[in-house]
Amino acid sequence: MANLRNTYLGISSPNPFWLASAPPTDKYHNVRRALDAGWGGVVWKTLGSQVKNVSSRYSSVDYNGHRMMGFNNIELISDRPLDLNLKEIAQIVREYPDRAMIVSLMADNNRTAWHELIKKTEDTGAHGIELNFGCPHGMIERGMGAVVGQDPEIAKMVVEWVMEAATIPVITKLTPNVHSVVPTAKAVVAGGTNGLSLINTIQSITGVDLDTFVPNPFVGGQSVYGGYCGPAVKPIALKMLTTLGKNPATNHVPISGIGGISTWRDAVEFMLLGAANVQICTAAMRYGFRIIDDLCSGLSNWMDEKGFATTDEFVGLSIPKITDWEKLDLNFHIVADINQDKCIHCGLCYITCEDTSHQAINLEQGKPYNTYTIKEEECVGCNLCKLVCPVEDCITMVEQRKGDEYLNWIAYQERGLPLNDH
Amino acid sequence: MIHTHRLNEAEYTQNFADIHPPFETHEGASIEANRCLFCYDAPCTKSCPTSIDVPKFIKQIATENIKGAAKTIFDSNIMGAGCSRVCPVEKLCEGACVYNLLHESPIAIARLQRYATAPALENNWQFYSSPSEKSKKVAVVGAGPAGLACAHALAQKGVAVSIFEKEPKGGGLMTYGVAGYKVTPEFCEEEVQWILGVGGIDIQYGVELGKDVQLADLQAQYDAVFLAIGVGVARPLQIEGEALDGVVNAISFIYDIRTKDLAAIPVGDAVAVIGMGMTAIDAATQAKRLGAKKVTMIYRRTENEKPCTDAELDLARLDGCEIIWLAAPHHINGQDGKVTEIVCSEMVLGEPDASGRRSPVDTGHTFTLPVDMVIKATGQLPYRNLLSEVGVQFSNETHDSGSTNLKGVFAGGDCVNGGKEVVDAVQAGKVAAASICDYLFG
């Protein structure tokens, strides 16, 4: 049976699932419940200067009747007294010695403040520090959070201050509110950070109340941009994660993956694209800490099935599969095939192909069930029909190569082969 | 013994309460609406006689556009509210739902349709209107589903419509011939009023064709006439003992339930119901719900040939009705003029008949059931005399377009098709209205 024990920057935890720095990790009560439930570790909610929070704080995006496809918050860093947080962190470290305790920090923007905060944090016995360079709201106005993460020079400077004082591993958390995470990542790696984590939340407005006309979340008739997270952001996070794995300046730095991870499948995807472990928040805020059971059991079963004994054996395996568009094989060609035994005649493949793609599906009228078949000569192999089909394995894409050899766009141009063949 | 007041008021209320409770919250409707795959050229729509765009209205419920959903339904079926309660959806839209092919529950289309249409009646959302200038006059005979659907469509086209209805209320069999737990007479009345809300329709109750008004007069006074007189004459059993006290026909039994206080409806201790159509089920279940101790349904063929749906049969079984297949009434015995027992012939299935169903053949053996009430539900006969006396004849063309052998005289609904669903009658009314408009406006 697979061993889920995970070591990240030398910090060991019984599984690769940490709770991300967020409301679920802001006090003893929650963290104890999380660790009792079985979480591998926590990143304690960001400590820093004293702040005051507003009411309300969260809003979300529902999709086709499902709650919280995306989630948004305007909460600031911890609003509890620093000393109380430190005391509780120390207590957790004592009571749960086998779990990872990382503390998220966001000090005032000067060297002394950072050094003092690091000293106090290390006194708790915590195993690591995560630098919050990513918070997209509230702290920006004070010259902290995403403002630091958006400017590689400032980020590097702060990391250098931190590394002067820190004796435990330092993870720098990156903001996605940039055109690319690579410049800041490179800068903080040059500044000496031990690890990287990403992504923090994405600036957002989740929606507008159609009665009051006030965007969400509602705070006394006004609102502000919030930080977006949850399942909706996962694809964006995966792409940003992969860009670090593809870049020679950052691909050797252990990454803690964050961004919309809700299930063990999501976690495996992050790890295949280079995350050494993962952090989760929204899924826990949606259902409570009990989700850890399936995260562990699903991961373990998948590892057994694939023959992986430890969690580091598959980290980054999918990175080489991402290439440049011009290197894709133009001779690779697939066409859709509809299994008539499985077809339930919903017509979704037909109408999407007919209206929005390549008119490659034939409709034969029936009462009440029409018959749909593929016009292979018209099919470009785009996948759309397969994606909209509600029946698993009803539409499959069958390989029909255009030629035997691997032929990419560069070679295609060099040979002057014809365009617009469809 | 046949008598009234078998139950207390609470029992009557419970027994006749809504059998398919509506979605009470938007969440409930939303969960179901979001299950809908939004099929293209959807089998549900193609299986609806009025072709309601089901995926469209369900999507509109999902986006909380309830007014839009209601209008989508009414655009195809002006009695969409009532049909959501009485349609045998398991053999229509829901029966065709593609989820059936996955062996999953079909979308609860009827409940969603009710969810969308109920507020239209409650809040009197009037989506349609009649132009104030009227260029033509049409008489509609019968205020049932066909007559109302036809009148509603004509009114929108600037036709002044006069409806003549023999009963004191509109709605036809919807009002007078459906089980109370499906739809209440009060609801039917509201629906009729809402339909009349389009304007331009005058309705006269208590006026019967051939008695209070003559077709020739209508032909003379109006630019066209639409006959939607339904069926109503119960088919006789033509067996000995049919005239005994305690032998009633299902149509009048249900009519009484619809028009009188439930406690005042007499019902026997042991009731035999002859037939296995929807009306037979409605009669049997309601006899049981009125307090009959034992109800036995008798049908001359087997379950495979039954005209009612599986869902309806389940309803009867759940109500505790007993069912005897392959039995036909032979004669009814009585004492002092009152029913005491029914003697039935045992049947077997023979060759298929014109309908393709295997026809029952008498074995010569009989059995006897002690009963004190017999309800005949073996179908209804059209008002043939009423029509033939004035020279109206139906043809295939009448089925397709509503036109008859008489110029300017149209017909549709049960009187033409011999008695089908409410939704079929609505469609016939729509089709006839289009034909009448072609006739009037060319």
| pLDDT of amino acid B389 | 84
Q: Is residue B4 part of a domain?
A: no
| pLDDT of amino acid B360 | 93
Domain boundary among B92, B122, B152: B122
Collapsing DSSP to helix, strand or coil, A312 comes out as helix
Q: Is residue B116 part of a domain?
A: yes
Same domain as B177, residue B242: no
Chain A contact for B38 (CB, 8 A cutoff):
yes
Counting Cα atoms < 13 Å in the Cβ hemisphere of B412 gives 33
Is residue B65 over pLDDT 80?
yes
Same domain as A111, residue A83: yes
Full domain range(s) for residue B431: 136-232+381-441
| pLDDT of amino acid B347 | 97
Q: Which two tokens stand for residue B288?
A: 């049981």
Same domain as B374, residue B250: yes
| pLDDT of amino acid A315 | 98
CB contacts, 8 Å: B98 with chain A: 344-346
Same domain as B240, residue B342: yes
By DSSP bridging, strand B201-205 and strand B380-382 are: unpaired
Same domain as B343, residue B270: yes
Task: Quote the minimal CA–CA distance from A288 to chain B in Å.
Answer: 22
Query: CA–CA separation, B93 vs B108, rounded Å?
Result: 10
Task: Quote the minimal CA–CA distance from B46 to chain A in Å.
Answer: 6
Domain boundary among A321, A347, A382: A321
Q: Is residue A307 part of a domain?
A: yes
Chain B contact for A344 (CB, 8 A cutoff):
yes
Q: Is residue B353 part of a domain?
A: yes
**Residue A315 is which amino acid?**
V
Domain boundary among A321, A336, A369: A321
pLDDT-derived band of residue B108, with 50, 70 and 90 as boundaries? very high
Q: For position A378, which CATH number holds?
A: 3.30.70.20
Domain boundary among B122, B144, B175: B122
Is residue B52 over pLDDT 80?
yes
Q: Which residues of chain A, if any, have pLDDT below 70? A: 135-145, 421-422
- For residues B81 and B117, the answer to whether their CB atoms sit within 8 Å is yes
Considering only the C-alpha atoms of chain B, give the largest distance between any 2 of them, rounded to a whole number of Å: 68
- Burial category of A417 from C-beta neighbours within 10 Å (exposed 0-12, middle 13-18, buried 19 and up): exposed
Query: CA–CA separation, B332 vs B275, rounded Å?
Result: 16
**Residue A419 is which amino acid?**
L
pLDDT tens figures, B128-176 = 999 999 999 999 999 999 999 999 999 999 999 999 999 999 999 999 9
CA end-to-end span of chain A: 50
Task: Quote the minimal CA–CA distance from A386 to chain B in Å.
Answer: 14
Helix and strand element counts for chain B (H, E): 19, 15
Same domain as B219, residue B154: yes
Same domain as A339, residue A307: no
Same domain as A367, residue A316: no
Same domain as B352, residue B256: yes
Q: Is residue B152 part of a domain?
A: yes
- What is the tally of structural domains in chain B? 3
Same domain as B213, residue B174: yes
Mean pLDDT in chain B?
95
Q: Taking the model in full, what pTM does it have? A: 0.93
| pLDDT of amino acid A49 | 87
Domain boundary among A289, A321, A353: A321
Q: Is residue B253 part of a domain?
A: yes
| pLDDT of amino acid A419 | 86
Same domain as A386, residue A272: no
Q: Is residue B370 part of a domain?
A: yes
pLDDT-derived band of residue B382, with 50, 70 and 90 as boundaries? confident
CB contacts, 8 Å: B33 with chain A: 65
- Burial category of A193 from C-beta neighbours within 10 Å (exposed 0-12, middle 13-18, buried 19 and up): buried
Same domain as A303, residue A159: yes
Same domain as B267, residue B169: no
Chain B contact for A364 (CB, 8 A cutoff):
no
Same domain as A212, residue A115: yes
Query: CA–CA separation, A69 vs B34, rounded Å?
Result: 15
Contact A65 B30 (CB under 8 A): yes
Q: Is residue A1 part of a domain?
A: no
Same domain as B278, residue B161: no
- For residues B244 and B334, the answer to whether their CB atoms sit within 8 Å is yes
Same domain as A150, residue A78: yes
How much is the ipTM here? Answer: 0.90
Same domain as A105, residue A93: yes
Helix axes A82-95, A28-37, angle to 10 degrees: 20
Query: CA–CA separation, A8 vs A19, rounded Å?
Result: 14
The runs of H, that is alpha helices, within A166-249 are 182-191, 234-246
Full domain range(s) for residue A355: 325-421
Cα angle at B261 between B260 and B265, to 5 degrees?
80
Of B30, B38, B96, the CB nearest to A368: B96
By DSSP bridging, strand B136-141 and strand A395-399 are: unpaired
Query: CA–CA separation, B142 vs B133, rounded Å?
Result: 25
| pLDDT of amino acid B367 | 97
Domain boundary among B335, B360, B378: B378
Q: Is residue A216 part of a domain?
A: yes
- For residues A196 and A255, the answer to whether their CB atoms sit within 8 Å is yes
By DSSP bridging, strand B409-411 and strand B224-227 are: parallel
- For residues A102 and A43, the answer to whether their CB atoms sit within 8 Å is yes
- For residues A306 and A314, the answer to whether their CB atoms sit within 8 Å is yes
Q: How many CB atoms lie within 10 A of CB B53?
A: 17
Of A64, A348, A390, the CB nearest to B34: A64
Q: Is residue B127 part of a domain?
A: no
Same domain as A306, residue A360: no
Collapsing DSSP to helix, strand or coil, B441 comes out as helix
Same domain as A390, residue A303: no
Across B68-93, average pLDDT: 97
Q: Is residue A144 part of a domain?
A: yes
Query: CA–CA separation, B7 vs B11, rounded Å?
Result: 6
Collapsing DSSP to helix, strand or coil, A43 comes out as strand
Q: Which residues of A are catalytic?
A: 135
- What is the tally of structural domains in chain A? 2
The residue written with tokens 């802001």 in the block is A26
Chain A contact for B96 (CB, 8 A cutoff):
yes
H or E segment to which residue A303 belongs: helix A292-306
CB contacts, 8 Å: B96 with chain A: 368-369
Q: For position A210, which CATH number holds?
A: 3.20.20.70
| pLDDT of amino acid A144 | 67
| pLDDT of amino acid A219 | 97
Same domain as A316, residue A342: no
- For residues A63 and A69, the answer to whether their CB atoms sit within 8 Å is yes
Same domain as A105, residue A205: yes
Q: Is residue B2 part of a domain?
A: no
Q: For position B417, which CATH number holds?
A: 3.50.50.60
Same domain as B94, residue B52: yes
Same domain as B371, residue B283: yes
Give the phi and the psi of residue B76 in degrees, each rounded to 5.
-100, -30
Residue A118's alpha-carbon distances to A8, A47, A144, A161, in angstroms, are 20, 10, 16, 10
Across B288-305, average pLDDT: 96
Q: Which residue of chain A comes nearest to B46, CA vs CA?
A: A368
**Residue A78 is which amino acid?**
S
Of A363, A369, A390, the CB nearest to B43: A369
Q: Which two tokens stand for residue B34?
A: 């979001």
Same domain as B402, residue B374: no
